[in-house]
């Protein structure tokens, strides 16, 4: 199966390990990975800040980059959702709305793709640790992917799972919110870190690099002994 | 603007909110209690999503036929001997009500809880007309006694106060000498309020839903005070937002169920009161005179536009009770009597961007509000829509942000520019980089690194790794 990887700009620039793990994991599951060089960013930072028209060129670039893929897979629920959002943004546009629809139909978040398309629930991973999992807002509420990551984690050998209290609460990232409303964002991430600590888990796992960058950044600043890892890295552990 | 509370700037209000650890504890606790109750009350129906769709359908139908139903309502109120006044502005509503008070030579007004009367600042208008105004909802009463502390929640107005604080307020202002036990505090308020009910000239209520077919209106309460407000004084005035009506009792039943379950997690509240016009000949209680004041105050300009769905709102506060931002900053931080997600959407529409332009940014667009709204208002989408209006129609975005977003747009739409630009990210960032992290970032990144570390850029971009590795191989 041919998979076109939408790595996301955060992974490209800051979380290379997540990209590598995604590639290795999907290859192990029999996929052939392609990475189109013309991919940039899905446009969320400016789109979410209200610069809708300013962002349209970037979105069109992304649509053209991925339009001919068989499957588009991204290790980020939020960025994968953005590809689904394009069809609403270009609503009424005779050229771009149909293209955006086509793109949305083949775009999946990584765990969603593994469970729903590859029909794999056990990726054969081993990870000897106690973990908790942060359910990212856009991935669960907007993209609607709730079960897939849990299904996959449940089948990882050696992994002990502990539920995160207040898991439905946003971590306080919110794109430019984190800097524009930094004082509120800090309180939100603080509460999230507190909840992670309460679980006693050694690792916080998530499926969205941006949330992990936020929570992880706070954990690191506070010098807490909790490690943060993307679900692709856990599923790629053997 | 009349719905505005306080003079502090947004950041100062937020700062005060964050520093108020007691309030935050109370809010977090209330969110958890009400959240669990709401979940239980909605799940037990077994088909909550169908209920939501039905509720949305009803609200949409009413808004699309609002002129028809408003006319039907006013005809039926008049047919039952009531007076109807359409107020285009807050001032018009207040003037009319002042006029009624004067004509009755009223000295004392008792009120049931009503957000629309807060919105139009009716209390101060009545005071100007020489009336003493008594709030009789316990929460509102506490706030009024505490030098008119504004409400911080549309359903639980005194959410930000605990029982010890309430005891202190009662002790200082009312000479209360007992303990902070809620029963004792409530009893004291009841005794005080009972005297007020008996001696009031006018009773004023809000309106949960008016029923167009019969000219009735309903009040959904838990304390029973609204029933005294509507049965003891000789004159009654009901104030309603112009969108708060339903065609018949059949639709009211659906919306009341959505309201009580979403709002307080109850199947029904203790009192659901439906009243129609003034007292009739053979009736033993109720007002001799009834006035219905229908308030526009900016609502008609929302109709037919991209924000129309906000008028679906039935004021249940479910969105407020799940909002992670409200949780940290409390209601007063919003600077509007309408707080939380619904307040952040509604306040700029009713009160203007000059006063409330920050509110649409006080959200991570996490969608928790949209998920719980019983009448399916896409709240987080409307918040995003406000941002778009602020940036693209109003041109109010800060210059530096505009430039940054322009640069971002250029970089993100040009792969060549992106590739070239990002190639140098590690070297540009190296002075700020400490091992694998950045602890003191430059520019806007500083706002991030004030509280969090930021990851150091990959030494090798992922794309370069992918390109350089053996084609098809599994080793890097």
| B173/A contact by beta carbon, under 8 A | no
Query: How many residues are listed for chain B in this entry?
Result: 476
- Residue B474 maps to a domain: no
Encode A18-55: b = buried (16+ Cβ within 10 Å), e = exposed: bbbbbbbbbbebebebebbeebbbbbbbbbbbbbbebb
For residues B56 and B191, state if they share a domain: yes
Cβ B409–A51 below 8 Å, yes or no?
A: yes
pLDDT in tens, B122-134: 999 999 999 999 9
For residues B433 and B290, state if they share a domain: no
Grouped pLDDT means (10 residues each) for chain A, 238 residues: 96 94 98 95 94 94 97 97 97 98 98 98 98 97 97 98 96 94 96 97 96 96 96 97
Q: Give the per-residue pLDDT at B470.
A: 60
Residues B340 and B323: beta-carbon distance below 8 Å:
yes
pLDDT in tens, B244-292: 999 999 999 999 999 999 999 999 999 999 999 999 888 888 899 999 9
Alpha carbons A19 and B466: distance in angstroms, whole number: 9
Instruction: Choose among A19, A50, A173: nearest Cβ to B392.
Output: A50
Alpha carbons B83 and A183: distance in angstroms, whole number: 50
Strands A227-230, B235-241: pairing kind: unpaired
| B423/A contact by beta carbon, under 8 A | no
Per-residue pLDDT, averaged over B164-183, amounts to 95
- Residue B407 maps to a domain: no
Q: What is the CATH number of the domain that holds B229?
A: 3.40.50.10420
Domain stops at, among B273, B295, B317: B295
Q: Give the per-residue pLDDT at B476.
A: 43
Is B373 assigned a ligand-binding role in the annotation?
A: yes
Helices (H), B331-444: 340-351, 353-356, 368-372, 379-388, 399-413, 415-423, 425-429
Alpha carbons B23 and A182: distance in angstroms, whole number: 20
Cβ B361–A172 below 8 Å, yes or no?
A: no
- Residue B414 maps to a domain: no
**Contacts of residue B401, Cβ cutoff 8 Å, sequence gap at least 6:** A49
Q: Give the per-residue pLDDT at B471.
A: 57
Cβ B14–A49 below 8 Å, yes or no?
A: no
| B453/A contact by beta carbon, under 8 A | yes
Domain stops at, among B295, B317, B346: B295
Among A87, A168, A152, CA closest to A113: A152
Is B319 assigned a ligand-binding role in the annotation?
A: yes
For residues B234 and B89, state if they share a domain: yes
Neighbouring-strand partners of residue B113: none
Query: Which domain, by its residues, includes B229?
Result: 10-295
Alpha carbons B367 and A164: distance in angstroms, whole number: 19
- Residue B284 maps to a domain: yes
Alpha carbons B308 and A187: distance in angstroms, whole number: 33
CA distances to B141, B173, B332 from B164, rounded to whole Å, are 16, 14, 20
Residues B3 and B118: beta-carbon distance below 8 Å:
yes
Q: Which 216-235 residues of chain B touch chain A by CB within 8 A? A: none
Q: Which domains does chain A have, with CATH numbers?
A: 2-116 (3.40.50), 121-235 (3.40.50.11810)
- Residue B218 maps to a domain: yes
Token look-up 């030098």 returns B147
CB atoms within 10 A of CB A158: 10
Residues A33 and A23: beta-carbon distance below 8 Å:
yes
Alpha carbons B303 and B227: distance in angstroms, whole number: 33
CB atoms within 10 A of CB A95: 10
Task: Give chain B's domain count.
Answer: 2
pLDDT in tens, B81-107: 999 999 999 999 999 999 999 999 999
Domain stops at, among B266, B295, B324: B295
- Residue B191 maps to a domain: yes
Residues B326 and B339: beta-carbon distance below 8 Å:
yes
The sign of the dihedral angle between the CA atoms of A20, A25, A26, A28 is positive
């Amino acid at each position: 199966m041919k998979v076109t990887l939408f790595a996301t700009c955060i992974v490209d620039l800051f979380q290379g390990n997540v990209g590598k793990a995604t590639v290795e994991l999907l290859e192990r599951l029999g996929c052939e990975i392609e990475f189109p060089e013309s991919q940039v960013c899905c446009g969320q930072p400016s789109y979410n800040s209200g610069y809708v028209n300013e962002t349209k060129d970037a979105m069109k670039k992304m649509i053209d980059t991925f339009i001919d893929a068989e499957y588009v897979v991204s290790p980020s629920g939020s960025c994968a959702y953005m590809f689904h959002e394009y069809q609403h943004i270009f609503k009424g546009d005779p050229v771009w709305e149909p293209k955006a629809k086509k793109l949305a139909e083949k775009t999946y978040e990584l765990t969603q793709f593994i469970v729903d398309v590859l029909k794999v629930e056990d990726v054969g991973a081993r990870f000897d640790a106690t973990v908790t999992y942060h359910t990212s807002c856009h991935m669960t509420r907007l993209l609607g992917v709730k079960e897939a990551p849990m299904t996959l984690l449940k089948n990882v050998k050696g992994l002990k799972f502990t539920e995160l209290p207040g898991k439905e609460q946003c971590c306080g990232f919110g794109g430019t919110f984190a800097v524009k409303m930094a004082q509120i964002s800090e309180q939100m991430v603080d509460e999230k870190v507190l909840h992670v600590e309460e679980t006693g888990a050694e690792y916080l796992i998530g499926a969205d690099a941006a949330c992990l960058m936020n929570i992880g950044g706070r954990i690191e600043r506070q010098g807490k002994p909790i490690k943060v890892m993307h679900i692709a890295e856990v599923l790629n552990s053997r | 603007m009349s719905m505005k509370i306080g003079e502090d700037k947004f950041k100062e209000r937020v700062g005060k909110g964050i520093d108020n650890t007691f309030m935050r504890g109370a809010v977090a606790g209330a969110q958890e209690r009400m959240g669990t109750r709401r979940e239980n009350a909605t799940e037990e129906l077994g088909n909550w999503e169908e209920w939501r769709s039905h509720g949305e359908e009803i609200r949409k139908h009413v808004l699309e036929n609002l002129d028809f139903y408003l006319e039907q309502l006013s005809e039926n109120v008049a047919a039952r001997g009531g007076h109807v006044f359409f107020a285009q502005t807050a001032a018009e509503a207040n003037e009319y009500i002042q006029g009624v008070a004067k004509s009755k030579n009223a000295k004392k007004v008792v009120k049931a809880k009503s957000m629309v009367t807060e919105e139009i600042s009716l209390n101060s208008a009545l005071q100007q007309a020489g009336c003493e105004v008594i709030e009789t909802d316990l929460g509102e009463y506490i706030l009024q006694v505490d030098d008119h502390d504004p409400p911080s929640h549309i359903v639980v107005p005194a959410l930000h106060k605990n029982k010890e604080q309430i005891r202190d307020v009662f002790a200082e202002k009312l000479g209360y000498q007992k303990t902070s036990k809620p029963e004792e505090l409530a009893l004291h308020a009841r005794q005080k309020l009972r005297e007020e009910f008996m001696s009031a000239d006018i009773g004023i209520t809000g309106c949960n839903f008016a029923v167009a077919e019969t000219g009735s209106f309903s009040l959904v309460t838990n304390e029973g005070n609204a029933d005294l407000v509507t049965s003891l004084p000789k004159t009654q005035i009901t104030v309603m937002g112009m969108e708060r009506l339903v065609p018949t009792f059949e639709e009211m039943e659906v919306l009341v169920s959505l309201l009580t379950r979403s709002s307080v997690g109850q199947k029904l509240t203790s009192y659901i009161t439906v009243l129609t016009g003034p007292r009739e000949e053979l009736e033993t209680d109720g007002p001799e005179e009834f006035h219905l004041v229908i308030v526009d105050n900016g609502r008609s300009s929302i109709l037919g536009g991209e924000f129309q769905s906000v008028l679906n709102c039935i004021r249940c506060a479910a969105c407020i009770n799940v909002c992670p931002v409200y949780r940290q900053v409390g209601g007063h931080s919003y600077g509007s009597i309408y707080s939380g997600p619904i307040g952040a959407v509604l306040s700029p529409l009713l009160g203007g961007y000059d006063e409330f332009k920050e509110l649409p940014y006080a959200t991570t667009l996490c969608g928790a509000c949209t998920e719980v709204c019983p009448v399916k208002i896409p709240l987080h989408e409307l918040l995003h829509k406000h941002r778009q209006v602020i940036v693209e129609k109003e041109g109010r975005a800060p210059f530096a942000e505009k430039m940054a977003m322009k640069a971002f747009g250029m970089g993100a739409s040009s792969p060549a520019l992106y590739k070239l630009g990002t190639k140098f990210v590690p070297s540009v960032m190296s002075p700020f980089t400490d091992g694998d992290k950045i602890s003191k970032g430059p520019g806007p990144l500083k706002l991030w690194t004030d509280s969090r570390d930021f990851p150091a850029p990959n030494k090798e971009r992922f794309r370069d790794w992918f390109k350089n590795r053996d084609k098809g191989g599994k080793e890097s």
